[in-house]
Amino acid sequence: MRILSADGEVIGAGFLVAADVVCTCAHVVTGALGVPDTEESAPGTPVDLDFPLLSGRPRARATVVSWRGGGADVALLRLDAAVEGARPVPLVDGTGVWGHTFRALGYPDGADDGVWASGTLRAGQGAGWVQMEAQEPGPRIEEGFSGAPVWDDAQDGVVGMTVAAHLGERTAYLLPSAELVDERTLRPRCPFQGLAPFTEADAEFFHGREGDTARVHTAVRRRPVTLVAGPSGCGKSSLVRAGVLPRLRAEGMSVSELRPVPGVRAAAVLARALTGILEPELGEVERLARAEELAGLLETGGDVPAELRGGVLARGASAGHVIFVDQFEEYAGAEPAAARGLFGLLAALAGGGLTVLVPVGTTLMAVRAESVGGERFRADSGKYSVSPNGRFVALVTDRRLEVLDASRTRHQSVSLPPPAETVDWIPTWTADSKRIVVWGESGNLYRSYSVQDLRDSVPLDDVVPKAKELDSVTELRGGEVDSVAALQGSEIVLLTVDGRLARVDAADAAVRTRRFLVHPAPNWAGTGLTGEIFVRSQLIARPGHPGQVAAVTRTGTQRGEILLWDVWSQRRVTTLPGPAISVPFATDSFTSALAFDADGSHLAVQNVDGQVMVWDVDRRKQLARSAPRASNDALVGIGSGDSVVTYLSDKKQVQFYDLTGDGASGTLPVAGGNWIAGFVHGHRLTIDTGRLRQTFDLNPDTQFRTLCAAADRDYTEAERKLLPEGTPSQPPCS
């Protein structure tokens, strides 16, 4: 900045050492005010100054608040008001700077717009000043540079203030930065917080997490809800408070904080925060009474949160409003059901310029939550299935097949004939996610449909010999289709009631491998009143091992016998014996008691003894630990590190159980109601509830994640090729 006289003449330079505190030489101030340099007490007259490097060259006035004349020659002045866009300089160490290059901007006679001088720093001398040598050729430091900050290129900060120069020479002097600050005016602050978290007031000391701050900031500006996730103690709240919130306020957004307290119901938590925003003038008693009324309205359901959104935005700043939810993880740990309810209320409140920001600390980290679009399934019951690439959800009822893309922007449906008596239609996707096979449970294959156009279908009812003839027979005869699994590309493999495997291409109905027995007789053939009547065969392809499947016949279900087959070569690879295998509880999703991990090396099995065991398939050994389960829990898959992932239907929670580490288990509430489909892909778990599609990171070593993983990127080229026609071009959650 420039220090000006009353008539506008440039006397010297100055700089900010705090948002509203100017540092300059005492002799510059006396020169600007026209008083003697020998003045021992601080002048009381305000000093004029301006900021020539800012747009519009704003002018300001400042009054001396600290005065050290004579040899110290330092004056600190406080601005009448902080100047927008002006920032204090970073002060760095002024000792041990020999050989460092420097820069300084001064205003010598005839150069009111300023001129830069540069050179080399030397060392201190008897007066306590540090010597500078201006480089030649180039401007010298002379009268007009007094009060100018000296920038040390090596330390990226201001090393001191220019105070004197030898007339006609290239030697000048600076007062080191440590001598500039008066602790009575600028109280020193320790930049090291220890165990204390950073707050917004500590933003100037918050460094080293610029990348994380930028990612979260981008997510908040683009999404209605953002979760910042990581283990407890990794600095999530500090990142938000000292990194993200100051940026949002600087952009014109208002911020309010919500801190849920265990023992307080979800609606009351939100109501108390909203009452403080909507009616800040109320007294404490009135505020509590009004909050209780509002909590009652929130608990009635409906569109109350959405209606309150407008009031919050009207009270907030023009650029929008952020609700920062702190300590949510403690609330979720103590009150999981209440936390699920609170998250649902917050999601309903968010949108239209109102953003919710929530740090969470569970090892199960939500990284994406997408509200469904305008399209909906027409039916409200049936069997759901998610495509292997996660891009589509299929629903089949006894009358229709419906397909929605994951963002719910494109809906297709086609009529189905009524299934045979006692038979339900089941949807199974091919491995390439291009076709849906509709077949009758304990019945027959029907047709395969192209996901791009359901009118493009291929009949499959003649693929299994004599199975079509059994459609009108209500009793099992053995030839019926009992299980179907995707193999590779458009190929599927099926297992019949009497224990025979066959490989079929669903794209053209070609039989690639004719039916063969997976286990020698005796094998149940659909006759006799035995326990096999009440179970079903199960079949799953083995990832990373083309052509291999794990098959469990109806007889094998009771014997606990898992058969690993290569259907391409009709070769049995191995047998995994164990306790009897459970039949999954009937849900809206056609679930299995078997689940492989991503590379097919481990297989999870639900047993009737209430445990989920995991096999090391190649070694034919079970892991020492098992995961507990209830009869109606759904096995979703295997997460990272051999963790078993199940859906607890009674509690509407996802549970993961570590079988190789310390045996720890964790749960996470699933918002949006009952699940309709779920799958594990690597360390990501996706749960679709119809109203909300949520993706969780199952990797407990992940240190930092944000809701909506694509917050700072667009779809990849590979992802775009998989998008169905009609999907919006912008990234998910945008």
pLDDT of residue 473: 61
Across 542-632, where does the E strand assignment appear?
Answer: 548-552, 561-566, 571-577, 594-596, 602-606, 611-616, 621-622, 627-628
3-state secondary structure of 197: coil
pLDDT bracket for residue 393 (50, 70, 90): confident
DSSP state of 289: H
Query: Would you state the pLDDT for residue 638?
Result: 86
Give the span between the Cα atoms of 76 and 471, in whole angstroms.
94
Chain centroid offset of residue 9 CA? 55
Greatest distance between any 2 Cα atoms in the chain: 117
pLDDT in tens, 235-246: 888 899 999 999
Find, among 513, 516, 509, the residue nearest to 462 by Cα: 509
Angle in degrees, 0-180, between the axes of helices 304-315 and 284-299, rounded to the nearest 10: 140
pLDDT digits (tens, 9 = 90+) for 343-359: 889 988 988 889 998 88
Q: Which CATH number fits domain 200-362: 2.40.160, 2.60.120, 1.10.10, 3.40.50?
A: 3.40.50
Res. 434: pLDDT tops 90: yes
pLDDT digits (tens, 9 = 90+) for 121-139: 999 988 889 999 999 899 9
Average confidence score pLDDT of the chain: 83
- Please state, in angstroms and rounded to a whole number, the distance separating the CA atoms of residues 352 and 306: 10
The pLDDT value recorded for residue 19 is 87
pLDDT, one tens digit per residue, over 255-299 is 999 999 888 999 999 999 999 999 989 888 898 899 999 999 999
pLDDT of 383 reads 86
Q: How confident is the model at residue 723 (pLDDT cuts 50, 70, 90)?
A: very low
Coil/strand/helix, residue 346 = helix
d(CA 50, CA 1): 6
> In sequence order, what are the beta bridge partners of 555?
none
Q: For position 85, what pLDDT does the model report?
A: 85
The mean per-residue pLDDT over the stretch 242-255 comes to: 92
Residues of each domain in the chain carrying CATH 3.40.50: 200-362
- N residues, the chain: 734
> In the structure, what pLDDT confidence band is assigned to residue 661 with cuts at 50, 70 and 90?
low
The band of 230, judged by pLDDT with boundaries at 50, 70 and 90, is low
Tokens 């917080």, located at residue: 193
Kindly report the pTM of this predicted structure.
0.51
Could you count the other beta carbons within 10 Å of the beta carbon of residue 336? Answer: 16
Cα–Cα distance, 14 to 161 (Å, whole number) = 9
Q: Cβ atoms within 10 A of the Cβ of 646, count?
A: 26
> Looking at domain 1-182, does it have CATH number 3.40.50.150?
no
Nearest to 59 by CA among 1, 144, 145: 1
Q: Which position has the higher pLDDT, 594 or 476?
A: 594
What H or E segment, with its residue span, contains residue 30? helix 26-33
Encoded tokens for 604: 């999870």
Q: What pLDDT score was predicted for residue 455?
A: 94
pLDDT of residue 427: 94
138: which residues sit within 8 A by CB, 6+ positions away? Answer: 117, 118, 119
Cβ proximity of 565 and 502 under 8 Å: no
> What stretches of 80-170 adopt beta strand conformation (E)?
101-106, 115-124, 130-134, 149-152, 157-165
Q: pLDDT for 584-636, tens place per residue?
A: 655 555 678 899 998 999 999 998 887 889 999 999 999 888 888 776 778 88
Residues of the chain by 3-state class (helix, strand, coil), percent to 5? 15, 35, 45
Span 650-660, mean pLDDT? 76
Q: What pLDDT is recorded for position 725?
A: 44
Count of CB atoms situated within 10 Å of the CB of 197? 16
Name, in order, each residue with C-beta under 8 angstroms of 79's C-beta and a sequence gap of 6 or more. 20, 21, 22, 60, 61, 62
Q: Are strands 354-360 and 321-325 parallel, antiparallel or unpaired?
A: parallel
Task: State the average pLDDT over residues 370-388.
Answer: 70
Output 456 or 211, whichever has higher pLDDT. Answer: 456
Q: What is the pLDDT of residue 692?
A: 62
Q: Residue 496 CB: number of other CB atoms within 10 A?
A: 26
Tell me the three state secondary structure of residue 567. Answer: coil
b/e code 544-567 from CB counts within 10 Å (16+ = b): ebebbbbbbbbbbbbbbbbbbbeb
What was the pLDDT predicted at 452?
92
pLDDT, tens digit (0-9, with 9 covering 90-100), for 83-109:
988 989 989 988 889 999 999 999 999
Contact 523, 475 (CB under 8 A): no
Kindly report the backbone phi and psi dihedral angles of residue 76, in degrees, each rounded to the nearest multiple of 5, phi listed first.
-115, 135
SS3 637: strand
Round to whole Å and give the CA distance between 612 and 642.
12
Output DSSP code: residue 351: B
Token readout for 134 is 């201006």
pLDDT attached to residue 522: 58
State yes or no: pLDDT of 675 exceeds 70. no
The amino acid occupying position 80 is D
Round to whole Å and give the CA distance between 233 and 239: 11
pLDDT in tens, 500-540: 999 999 999 999 999 888 876 556 666 665 666 777 889 99
Which residues of the chain are in CATH 2.40.10.120 domains? 1-182
CA 259 – CA 327 distance, rounded (Å) = 6
The answer to whether 365 and 229 have CB atoms below 8 angstroms apart is yes
For 342-363, give one letter per residue: b (16+ CB within 10 A) or e.
bbbbbbbbbbebbbbbbbbbbb
d(CA 493, CA 512): 10
Neighbours of 16 (CB within 10 A): 19
